[in-house]
Structure 1
Amino acid sequence: MARNPERRAALVDAAVAVLAREGARGLTFRAVDGEAAVPVGTSSNYFTDRDDLLFQVDAHLHRRLAPDPTVLTELLKGPRDRSLVLEFMRDLLARATRDRTGYLALFEMRLEATRRPALRASYTRSVRGDLEDGMEFHRAAGLPGDDGAVTVLYLAMLGLLLEQLTLPGVLDGVLPDVAVPDGLVELIVTTIVPEDREGEEGEEA
């Protein structure tokens, strides 16, 4: 196996682009070589087979689409209340908008996982790990809402991203007074995440 890490990373990114544009059926070594503008046969020197390529796409996407630590640090300087949760969800939406290709590839990976048991097991671990990390982050940051709220928030944002990145017209005008997608993000957060207790106590006082 070839060991050039930069070339390997470029090939995996090319595979992400192919997945997003053509779906899993179009993900071949030849297609990846073409997307990466490298000689035919290059990918086969870096990945043992298509499953190996998919596993590496899985690992790469979860790194590529992760929040920017600098952004998280800045956001965490604010009060640990529902408005901060909203800012985190806005950041998620912004990242998905900037890297639409990466998120479409994530959705394609979900579909391909239904057809490949080994990939399903690996991908389930990856996604479950992300969810559990999100719960731990929420708890450690002292944000309002328990693990149940984080789980429902995850499901709601996943649905919003799926619609917005694939069929945005579905959401247009459904709620006339709610902007798409920003207003929907706010609606999701205010519906699911409880208000900060200290804020509530202050209002009662």
Structure 2
Amino acid sequence: MRHNAARRAALLDATLTILAREGTRGLSYRTLDAEARLPTGTASNYFRNRAELLRQAAEHVHFRLQPDADWLESTLQRPPGKELLTELLQNLVQRVLQDRTAYLSLLELRLEATRRPELQDTLRHTLNHHFYLNRNFGPTHGLPLTHPEFTLIYLTISGLLIEELTLPGLLEETTPDELMQRLVEIFTPSGPWRP
């Protein structure tokens, strides 16, 4: 059976919405069809079972959180430096906070993965792939972050996002942009910038 790519994307976006709003307990083919505003029975034609639906949702969430390709290409034309690294990190945090649904659904998928080994394997593979790409992004573009420094930044940003998305306003003494500036100051070498 041939599948419509736009319809599959709509179903996956609807899956993320349901996961963020209701958790996995609210996800069924019927609720998925209704959320995507598609005829009853559509989702079952695209996903043979719940495990397959969750697997594809785990992959799709990273597509949703990608930076705008034109913005990234334009931004990377600038010379490497602390300002560039700060802007890249600020954009990352802003993207996630603007697409709250995507990141909350990822958190829900992570919780569900503690009960489903096959989903844990999918998430581990997908996150390892993106972690590897992101870890090597800095050195590839002349940003002097060692792998341990990148890991610390990754873990710090992950914690920030959980706080901002689950308890907004908790960190009201500072802004995410200010925190990204401070992270760059802490984790990049002092003295002249050497790409």
> What TM-score comes out, normalization by structure 1 length?
0.88
User: CA contact under 8 A between 1:2 and 1:45: conserved in structure 2?
Assistant: no
What amino acid maps onto 2:134 in structure 1?
G
Residues 84-113 of structure 1 show CA distances to partners (whole Å, capped at 9, x for unaligned) of 111001111121122111111111111111
Residues 18-75 of structure 1 show CA distances to partners (whole Å, capped at 9, x for unaligned) of 0111112211111111101122222111110111001111111111211122111122
- Aligned residue for 1:203? none
CA RMSD of aligned residues (A): 1.6
Q: Identify which range, 162-171 or 113-122, moves more after superposition.
A: 162-171
Give the fraction of aligned pairs with identical amino acids, expressed as a percent: 43
What amino acid maps onto 1:40 in structure 2?
T
CA distance in 2, matches of 1:93, 1:51: 29
Alpha-carbon shift at residue 167 of structure 1 (Å) = 0.8
> Alignment partner for residue 198 of structure 1, among 173, 192, 195?
192
What amino acid maps onto 1:156 in structure 2?
T
What amino acid maps onto 2:84 in structure 1?
L
CA distance in 1, matches of 2:24, 2:172: 29
User: CA contact under 8 A between 2:58 and 2:123: conserved in structure 1?
Assistant: yes
- Aligned residue for 1:186? 181
CA distance in 2, matches of 1:28, 1:189: 43
Residues 134-170 of structure 1 show CA distances to partners (whole Å, capped at 9, x for unaligned) of 1221111010221111111111111111111111233
Say yes or no: does 1:71 pair with 2:71: yes
Alpha-carbon shift at residue 2 of structure 1 (Å) = 5.3
Residues 114-136 of structure 1 show CA distances to partners (whole Å, capped at 9, x for unaligned) of 11100001101111111110122
State the aligned residue count. 194
> What TM-score comes out, normalization by structure 2 length?
0.92
